[in-house]
Amino acid sequence: NCGNYCSGIIGYICEGWKVSECFNRGSIISEGANVAGIIGGVVEIKNEVGVKGTVENCYNNGEIKASSSYGGIIGRVCAKNVEIYNTYNCGEIVIGSSSVGIGNIVGWLNNGEVVAQNCYYNSEKNSIKAVNNQDVSGMSGKTEAEMKNKNFVLDLAGKFKVDSKVINNGYPILSWESN
């Protein structure tokens, strides 16, 4: 259990960062906001042109529950130039009293900008879409069977492999993970 800005990897981050080849399989339960499997919140301070933040080759397979602004990969984005590539969420996003500010990839996009490619979520776990409960370019839902299919690793562009020993419940694992 945690408060605001918490996640399985990074709670809060500002400009000029890169998060790569990591995962969360633990439950993140909070009564606060800005909660996710990988990054709780992304905030822009200086608003410098060309400075970006990137999440790539990551996944979440943990349950996420909070009061607002929560998602499978990032809880809240308040920054320009955020890129998300080759990620997926197969963890449960628990729906509370409101589905505003909840997403299977990004919970709340608050005056921020996200460019995404090859981002997926398990569309059978709940009715929530990718960002702010809407699907956006580069992010889409797949069934559990599609995500566990050996061809899904090809959709994730190279850093993933088939979970042949079922260490991630049959969902793809990162190439460096023991199998």
The pair of structure tokens assigned to 131 is 């960002």
Backbone angles phi, psi at 51, to 5 degrees: -85, 125
User: How many helices, marked H, and strands, marked E, lie in the chain?
Assistant: 2, 19
Listed in sequence order, the residues at least 6 apart from 174 whose beta carbon sits closer than 8 Å to its beta carbon are: 21, 22, 23, 57, 59, 159, 160, 161
Q: What is the pLDDT along the chain (179 residues), one digit of tens a residue?
A: 788 899 999 999 987 899 999 999 999 999 889 999 999 999 876 666 667 889 999 999 999 999 889 999 999 998 888 999 999 999 999 987 766 789 999 999 887 789 999 999 999 998 889 998 888 899 999 999 999 999 999 999 989 999 998 999 999 999 999 75
Q: Which residue in the block uniquely carries the two structure tokens 């889409």?
A: 140
For residue 124, the model assigns a pLDDT of: 95
Q: Tokens 């690793």 identify what position?
A: 153
pTM across the whole model: 0.94
List the structure tokens of 105: 């990839």
Which parts of 25-179 are beta strand (E)? 28-29, 33-36, 39-43, 53-56, 59-60, 64-65, 68-71, 74-78, 82-89, 102-103, 106-109, 114-122, 139-142, 160-161, 173-174
